[in-house]
């Protein structure tokens, strides 16, 4: 019997090739798009899940504010870890991770093989008690105990010593020669498996924190959030209990330090907390200052999940609509079968079998399309080729689930409804309204276009916001600025290096500084006016030379720039407009400010200039106060910013590399372009825009396929009516309007439903940005017109063919 049903299904597919092809193609595309997005979403949600006891591991953040200004850091002050060890017994282990600096390294066997390492973190000895990486060699308990100890991933070891040495376990105990002269020996005490891509922890070296300079290692400043701190809670310990004790530590140690020299000393609004964040939440739910790298975004991942479901739903609606519509054309077949004795159960099985066969073909095609989608995953998701997260058995189960779910859903309506009516009804061509009237199909078409219009409007607004990010005037010129990570290699020879660069006419300016917009390298210093040291303000601060402002294209609104010929500028200060407002300065030029009043590094500085506000952080955040001081000897990393004129950038970069090598032959150059670095801050939005562009197009294509198939069905049902209308004088335009008017009304109804939903969703999304576009009514009108135009074109194409057909052919069988 089953074989007979399959034969009938085959005959019906061959008899209705176009409708079947539309069904299979639309559903196949929907399945492929949905599965690709689901894999990406699963990947994003898998971050850091591979760590043992990941559910008990937390990162500590810092959140402080005074009622007017709030700051949220992914880092904490240095003394917090020791305070946790001594005061919170519920914590099994705690460790700090600190970005120290760049390193120049050589393997012990080849002095001329030089590497510049920019992903080096210093970690406490207990680091591997909290975050248990897989060790290939060495003891995780002792690997970071001694100074100048190094733990590296497998791929880094291969880079230095070769694959054969790694395979033969000839890495442990060997040395790296650090520094430009190779004079500092670093002993390899651990080799770990390569870090998976789905972790927020990405490093090439871990060095022992006991290698810190003494002044940093013993630093007890509670208001200096500089270290990433992780802790492992003991089993069966509630997070809330640990958080309460952390809050007590903040009240006992950190808040008094914050209150010192702060105008809000007596203000109840002043607060400082160390909130816990689950390890697995960091990638998608953390966008704080001092993140290790830009993270993902849970909202966008959830949006993609929703889009994938919408696309699959559109495909399913098309499938159900066309299958049920096609089934009504076979009503006489059902009537005849019932008249000759066919039972309802047999008819139900027949329709379900045909639906499952059709859905099986669509699912197989979807898997083929999915492989094609993988080829474009690198540009779409920015992750390279999507990994095959699902095994073959999983894919088989997913395929069977899709076939069963969609196939049964599509086939159940005609299978259960059609066998109910009497053969006489069918043979008289008087089908019940529930099947013939099309109310359910109309509702599904409206739902399709609600989704389509919503996606079009959403895509337009996201594209506008991304374009706004890319083209917004930031207060400086980000184009053609090359930024070298210097780390004090070129220190005494700064002026000579800049002079050498300016020999090339393509080099407009070059400057040294300890901060560059977008790099989050800023520190905070306390500033107060003379006589008001108890009313200080924590203000972002970094050092620049006299060429920095012209190199970055920043605008002075008052006073002057630093000058290397004016000795007193060593004690000068340039503020941005926000800092002037924050400090309440009237006519700031010439005013004196006290930096870090009462501290060892207290300085009296004179304001010599005010620059126009510029965005030195992501556009997700408002512009904060900033103080710039003349560059002097600096302990940590600095940067060389080089402005290049247009033209041959590759030639200019090659010249810069040549000059660097002349000054630092033993230190490889590390650089990037400023505009590319800044673009990383809205990488998630750019990615969302790309995904929306592609999958909105797919959604419209699927909707048009379904609409086209539905028009074919309607024309087939009204073929005789159209022929009669033409015989009595109806024109082609009359026929076109007749077939279009219903879809026109459905599209307008969808627009009315979709617009307020999309408006509300986009308002909520735009709240994530400090600087954002304004929503305009025309965006939603354009989305509606686009959907209407697509619907009319789809319907009209087939309607015109019907309008120009010879009416005699339509009535020939009467």
**197: number of CA atoms within 13 Å, CB side?**
10
* Sign, Cα dihedral of 37, 41, 46, 48: positive
Cα 33 from Cα 219, distance rounded (Å): 53
Closest CA to 451 of 622, 317, 266: 317
- Distance separating the N- and C-terminal Cα atoms of the chain: 36
In which domain, by residue range, is 32 found?
2-43+297-469+682-811
Give dist(CA 714, CA 709) in Å, integer: 9
**Counting beta carbons within 10 angstroms of the beta carbon of residue 529, is it exposed (0 to 12), middle (13 to 18) or buried (19 or more)?**
middle
Do 554 and 509 lie in one domain? The reply is yes
* Torsion, CA 423, CA 424, CA 427, CA 431, rounded to 10: -80
What pLDDT is attached to residue 630? 93
Residues 56, 45: Cα–Cα separation, whole Å: 17
Distance (Å, whole) CA 3 – CA 183 = 81
Residue 206, classed as helix, strand or coil, is: strand
Q: Could you give the CA distance from residue 617 to residue 561 in angstroms, rounded to a whole number?
A: 22
Q: What is the mean pLDDT of residues 734-743?
A: 73
CB atoms within 10 A of CB 220: 12
Assigned domain for 566 exists: yes
SS3 assignment, position 16: coil
211, 234, 263: which is the final residue of a domain? 211
- Residue 264: strand, helix, or coil: coil
- Spell out the residues 6+ positions from residue 34 whose beta carbon is closer than 8 angstroms to its own: 308, 309, 311, 312
| 461 and 562 part of one domain | no
Q: Same domain, yes or no, for 658 and 531?
A: yes
CA-to-CA separations, 798 to 439, 682, 789, in angstroms, rounded: 22, 44, 15
Q: What pLDDT is stored for residue 571 in this prediction?
A: 92
408 in Cβ contact with 67 (< 8 Å): no
- State which of 211, 232, 264 marks the end of a domain: 211
Both 652 and 688 in one domain: the answer is no
Give, in degrees to the nearest 5, the angle at Cα 196 between 190 and 199.
100
Distance between CA atoms of 138 and 559, rounded to whole angstroms? Answer: 59
Is residue 510 domain-shared with residue 454, that is, in the same domain?
A: no
Whether the per-residue pLDDT at 434 is higher than 50: the answer is: no
Q: Is 144 helix (H, G, I), strand (E, B) or coil?
A: coil
Instruction: Read off the pLDDT of each residue in 611-634 and give the average, rounded to a whole number.
Output: 85
Which of 230-244, 341-355, 455-469, 488-502 shows the lowest per-residue confidence on average (mean pLDDT)? 341-355
Q: Kindly list the distances between the CA atom of residue 135 and the CA atoms of 106, 204, 280, 326, in Å, as whole numbers in the listed order.
A: 23, 15, 22, 62
Do 453 and 516 belong to one domain?
no
376 pLDDT more than 70: no
Same domain membership, residue 583 and residue 632: yes
In a domain, 140, yes or no: yes
Share above pLDDT 90 across residues of the chain, in percent, rounded to a whole number = 31
Residues in the chain: 814
Helix (H, G, I), strand (E, B) or coil at 674: helix
The total of structural domains in the chain comes to: 3
Mean pLDDT in residue range 235-264: 82
Phi, psi of 64 (to 5 degrees): -135, 160
From 666, 690, 710, the end of a domain falls on 666
Quote the pTM value.
0.79
- Would you place residue 314 in the very low, low, confident or very high pLDDT band (cuts 50, 70, 90)? confident
The better pLDDT of the pair 650, 391 is held by 650
In the numeric block, which tokens belong to residue 578? 């926000």
Which residues, 6+ apart, have CB-to-CB distance to 760 below 8 Å?
Answer: none
pLDDT at 558 over 50: yes
Instruction: Say what percent of the chain tops pLDDT 70.
Output: 81
> Do 631 and 526 share a domain, yes or no?
yes
The whole-chain average pLDDT of the chain stands at: 81
CA angle, corner 185, sides to 179 and 189, nearest 5?
125
Q: What are phi and psi of 665, to 5 degrees?
A: -65, -20
Among the ranges given (305-309, 310-314, 440-444, 717-721), the one the predictor scored with the smallest mean pLDDT: 717-721
* Helical H segments across 16-105, by residue range: 17-44, 80-87
| Judgement on whether residues 605 and 712 belong to the same structural domain of the protein | no
Question: Using one digit for the tens of pLDDT, what is the confidence trace for 84-113?
Answer: 999 999 999 999 998 877 888 999 988 889
DSSP label at residue 254 = I
The continuous run of DSSP H or E covering 661 comes out as helix 649-663
Give SS3 for 59: strand
538 and 449 in a common domain: no
Supply 21's token pair: 């092809």
Residue 219 lies in a domain: no
Statement: residue 263 has pLDDT above 60: no
More confident residue, 561 or 739: 561
Closest CA to 714 of 633, 657, 649, 798: 798
Residue 152 has pLDDT above 90, yes or no: yes
One domain for residues 644 and 774: no
pLDDT by residue (tens digit) across 638-664? 889 999 987 788 899 999 999 999 998
- Is residue 176 within 8 Å of 185, Cβ to Cβ? yes
Taking alpha carbons only, the member of 525, 659, 648 closest to residue 595 is 525
Q: Are residues 398 and 457 in the same domain?
A: yes
230 within some domain: no
Residue 78 DSSP SS3: coil
Say how far apart CA 291 and CA 596 lie, in whole Å: 26
Closest CA to 400 of 365, 370, 363: 363
């Amino acid at each position: 019997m089953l074989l007979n049903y399959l034969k009938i299904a085959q005959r019906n597919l061959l008899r209705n090739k176009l409708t079947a092809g539309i069904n299979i193609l639309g559903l196949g595309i929907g399945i492929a798009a949905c599965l690709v997005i689901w894999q990406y979403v699963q990947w994003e949600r898998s971050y850091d899940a591979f760590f043992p006891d990941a559910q008990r591991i937390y990162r500590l953040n810092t959140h402080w504010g005074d009622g007017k200004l709030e700051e949220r850091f992914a880092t904490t002050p240095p003394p917090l870890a020791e305070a946790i060890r001594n005061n919170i017994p519920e914590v099994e282990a705690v460790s700090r991770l600190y970005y120290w600096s760049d390193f120049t390294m050589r393997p012990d066997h080849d002095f001329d093989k030089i590497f510049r390492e920019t992903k080096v973190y210093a970690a406490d000895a207990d680091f591997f008690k909290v975050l248990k990486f897989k060790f290939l060699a060495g003891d995780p308990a002792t690997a970071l105990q001694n100074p100048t100890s190094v733990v590296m991933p497998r791929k880094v070891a291969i880079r230095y010593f070769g694959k054969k040495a790694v395979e033969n376990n000839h890495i442990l105990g060997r040395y790296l020669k650090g520094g430009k002269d190779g004079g500092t020996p670093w002993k390899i005490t651990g080799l770990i498996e390569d870090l998976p891509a789905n972790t927020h922890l990405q490093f090439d070296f871990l060095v022992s924190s006991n290698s810190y300079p003494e002044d940093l290692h013993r630093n007890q400043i509670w208001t200096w959030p500089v270290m990433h701190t992780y802790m492992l809670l003991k089993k069966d310990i509630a997070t809330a209990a640990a958080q309460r004790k952390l809050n007590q530590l903040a009240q006992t140690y950190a808040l008094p330090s914050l209150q010192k020299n702060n105008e809000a000393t007596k203000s109840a609004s002043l607060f400082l907390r160390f909130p816990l964040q689950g390890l697995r939440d960091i990638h998608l739910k953390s966008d704080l200052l001092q993140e290790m790298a830009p993270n993902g975004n849970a909202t966008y991942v959830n949006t993609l999940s929703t889009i994938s479901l919408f696309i699959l739903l559109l495909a399913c609606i098309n499938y159900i609509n066309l299958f049920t519509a096609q089934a009504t054309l076979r009503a006489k077949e059902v009537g005849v079968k019932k008249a000759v004795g066919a039972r309802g159960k047999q008819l139900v099985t027949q329709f379900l079998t045909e639906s499952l066969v059709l859905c099986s073909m669509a699912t197989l095609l979807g898997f083929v399309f999915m492989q094609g989608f993988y080829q474009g995953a690198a540009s779409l998701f920015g992750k390279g080729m999507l990994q095959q997260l699902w095994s073959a058995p999983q894919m088989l189960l997913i395929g069977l689930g899709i076939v069963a779910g969609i196939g049964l859903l599509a086939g159940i309506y005609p299978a259960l409804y059609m066998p109910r009516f009497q053969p006489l009804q069918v043979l008289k061509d008087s089908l019940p309204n529930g099947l013939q009237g099309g109310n359910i199909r109309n509702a599904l078409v409206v739902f399709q276009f609600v989704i389509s219009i919503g996606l079009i409007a959403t895509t337009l607004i996201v594209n506008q916001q991304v374009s706004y990010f890319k083209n917004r005037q930031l207060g400086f010129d980000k184009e053609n600025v090359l930024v070298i990570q210097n780390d004090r290699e070129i220190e005494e020879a700064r002026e000579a290096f800049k002079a050498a660069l300016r020999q090339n006419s393509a080099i407009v300016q070059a400057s040294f500084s300890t901060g560059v917009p977008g790099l989050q390298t800023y520190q905070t210093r306390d500033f107060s006016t003379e006589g008001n040291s108890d009313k200080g303000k924590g203000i972002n601060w970094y050092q620049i030379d006299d060429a920095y402002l012209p190199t970055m294209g920043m605008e002075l609104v008052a006073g002057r720039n630093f000058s290397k010929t004016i000795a007193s500028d060593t004690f000068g200060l340039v503020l941005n407009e926000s800092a002037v407002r924050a400090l309440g300065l009237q006519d700031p030029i010439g005013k004196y400010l006290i930096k870090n009043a009462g501290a060892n590094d207290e300085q009296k500085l004179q304001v010599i200039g005010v620059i126009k506000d510029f965005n030195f952080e992501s556009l997700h955040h408002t512009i904060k106060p900033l103080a710039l001081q003349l560059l002097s000897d600096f302990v940590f990393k600095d940067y060389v910013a080089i402005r290049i004129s247009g033209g041959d950038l590759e030639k200019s970069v090659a010249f810069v590399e040549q000059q660097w090598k002349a000054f630092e032959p033993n230190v490889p150059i590390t650089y990037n372009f400023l505009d590319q670095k800044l673009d990383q801050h809205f990488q998630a939005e750019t990615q969302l825009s790309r995904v929306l562009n592609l999958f909105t197009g797919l959604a419209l294509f699927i909707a048009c396929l379904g609409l086209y198939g539905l028009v074919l069905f309607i024309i087939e049902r009204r073929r005789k009516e159209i022929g009669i209308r033409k015989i009595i004088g109806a024109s082609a335009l009359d026929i076109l309007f007749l077939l279009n008017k219903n879809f026109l009304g459905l599209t307008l109804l969808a627009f009315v439903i979709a617009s307020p939903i999309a408006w509300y969703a986009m308002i909520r999304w735009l709240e994530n940005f400090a600087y954002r576009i304004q929503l305009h009514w025309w965006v939603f009108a354009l989305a509606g017109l686009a959907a209407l135009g697509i619907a009319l074109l789809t319907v009209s194409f087939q309607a015109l063919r019907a309008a120009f057909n010879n009416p005699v052919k339509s009535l020939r069988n009467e």
